[in-house]
Structure 1
């Protein structure tokens, strides 16, 4: 039996490289692929253990992204690494490098897609069902943008002129945007409400002259249940352009009112008014007294301004506390003999001699005057 001539085999070549070079390139490819797969498995195992021991979401996201590192892309990277041990013509070397870059771009796109879906799922868990549509639209838009950008980069990597394609996409996008600008405006306003959260379902808001509770937040409109029971529908774009008062997020409520005391009340009783009010308000729960002062000489009353803070945004509880305060003030004023003022008119008739004098002198009669 004839033994093959090893020297003769070394002289054989393929694509300008000897069999020894091809064997070395194959060995480098296998070793590089195995090394990257091993590193991926070790890092994934360690990150999974850390993710199970912590409550942060970042390591969970890293585990999900690493778990989507495909073997196909690892093999492509290994082939590119092994090709560096070969003497290839410029077109072949360029093709291999382009394949490696395309594989890298696709793997990055997969990682980004996994990250965006994980972020969308977090929004799903943190929001109510009415806002999940906005989250789904936002997640889909971001993922579509990611894949379009990666696709264009892959085409550019393979030498395709994407300038005309990008220009046509830009012109088409502008035409579509102009045609549906109102709808897109409301859609982006819905996304802004989802991300910024100026109000949520159940919040009591005031928009212009409309007062009510937020009932639904959609992709185009937001619906508010008014105090009269009617449903008021706002477009999301118009709603964000308005000034919104959100009473649900009010931590404390500042309450100010005026007590009108009758003229003629003694100085001693006037000095007791602030002390009585302080005693009444300070004794109430969830109420912080601020001040009570005689601040104005009215036309028909002495005006005391009273200010306190109620430590709850609940309107019903606020009205209950205010009613108790008013009734207690009324009762204490009756006990102390402090009279409330009320508007009145005083009519004074001139004395009869004065009337006769006016008639004698021809002066126009001024029979009465008002105060």
Structure 2
């Protein structure tokens, strides 16, 4: 029975045919091949120069504290086989190589270019993370885990692109990877939420280690930022361990780097105080504030008439120091205000008992 189907030639016959075509092409297009080879050599030299430049940038900044070193690290990963593949593709395209040879070179070029692009992407992503994590001990130690995740993701995409460019139907592979990714994501969604929250803290930097933050009812100093949790030492000495994802869902107040701290005091002045003395109160309180180092007076005036006192509002700013300095300054200002009011014979008011009229009289005659 005659076989009408076309049979594939044996491998040795195909290799012989490819060799004969290549030899004939080389002998018949020597000028074009020579020019293309020169151009390809120039491209290889430029790529190799970029690789050397990248290595120098990395050596000049090993901690990756500058973006130049991040780009340099990516350039330093330029592979020689990628340079050779680029040069071969240029020669084959410009010199009109035989179809079998051109197809083989293109096949190798697609693989080399895609893998090199994946390497560049991985190094740029990891370099950006390391750049943001410079000086960050906790996340710096977790770079290994991040490197594994980034490498797996980037090279999975690269493999799919290679197969797709080579004519392979990747629909089933993509579907399988998608289903697998969904399954892994559902199984470890809590871990991934905290991981991405840690990366958000790393890049956005709402707070750093050593800074004082306030969230919910807690206030404390950040001790460590990990992949899953952030540890905060509260003002009471307790260590608060908070999930990164839950922490970012809360309103966070960063107390670090406040240029000035505003202090508001309400002074209850007795109703028996003469109007002339009430008018002199702002100057007295201003002098009490300005007598304290690093304090700036804002205002002092009568604010309201309460049931048992005239409310005087005093506002000043502490221009330097942390929260402890504010507390020290407030203590000093309050002490100075009491001394000034005592000298002026101005009494504070306190809650009078309506049922005991003598309490009011006693209050009026009680020195502060």
TM exceeding 0.5: yes
Equivalent residue, structure 2, for 1:231: 239
Equivalent residue in structure 1 for 2:288, among 274, 280, 292: 280
SS of the residue 1:125 aligns to:
coil
Distance 1:38 1:53 in 2: 23
Q: Matched residues in 2 for 1:79 and 1:266: separation? A: 100
Deviations 1:65-98 (A, max 9, x none): 4443333222222222222324523x55333323
Using structure 1 for the length normalisation, give the TM-score: 0.79
Deviation, structure 1 residue 111: 2.7
- In structure 2, distance between residues paired with 1:156 and 1:291: 73
RMSD: 3.1
Moved more, 146-155 or 61-70: 61-70
Classify 1:19/1:101 alpha carbon distance in 2 versus 1 (closer, same or farther; 3 Å): closer
Contact 2:132 2:202 in 1 (8 A): no
Alpha carbons of structure 1 residues 191 and 65: separation in structure 2 relative to 1, 3 Å = closer
TM (norm. structure 2) is 0.80
1:15 aligns with 2:13: no
Choose from 29, 42, 47 the match for 1:35.
Answer: 42
Which residue in 2 is equivalent to 1:77?
A: 86
Aligned to 1:215: 223
Q: Which moved more, 1:327-336 or 1:144-153?
A: 144-153
* Range with greater deviation from structure 2 (143-152 or 268-277): 143-152
98-107 or 41-50, which moves further after superposition? 41-50
2:338 maps to 1:330:
yes
- The answer as to 2:266 corresponding to 1:258 is yes
Native 8 Å contact 2:58 2:73 kept in 1: no
Select the residue among 242, 248, 262 that pairs with 2:256. Answer: 248
177 and 321 in structure 1: CA distance in 2 versus 1, 3 angstrom threshold:
same
**1:80–1:100 contact (8 Å) kept in structure 2:** yes
Tell me how many residue pairs correspond in the alignment: 335
User: How far apart, CA to CA, are the structure 2 residues paired with 1:169 and 1:46?
Assistant: 38
Unmatched segments (≥5 aa) in structure 2: 1-18, 358-368
Cα 1:194–1:50 change in 2 (3 A) is: closer
- Shift, 1:168, TM fit: 0.7
The answer to whether structure 1 residue 342 and structure 2 residue 362 are counterparts is no
- Compare 168-177 and 239-248 and name the one that shifted more: 239-248
Q: CA deviation at 1:312?
A: 3.2
1:312 maps onto 2:312 in alignment: no
1:88 is the counterpart of 2:98: yes
Cα distance, 1:198 vs. partner? 1.6
Equivalent residue, structure 1, for 2:109: 100
* Paired residues of 1:134 and 1:194 also in contact (CA < 8 A): no
Q: Is the 8 A contact 1:260 1:304 kept in 2?
A: yes
Shift in CA distance, 154/191, structure 1 to aligned 2, threshold 3 Å: same
CA contact (8 A) 1:300 1:342 kept: yes
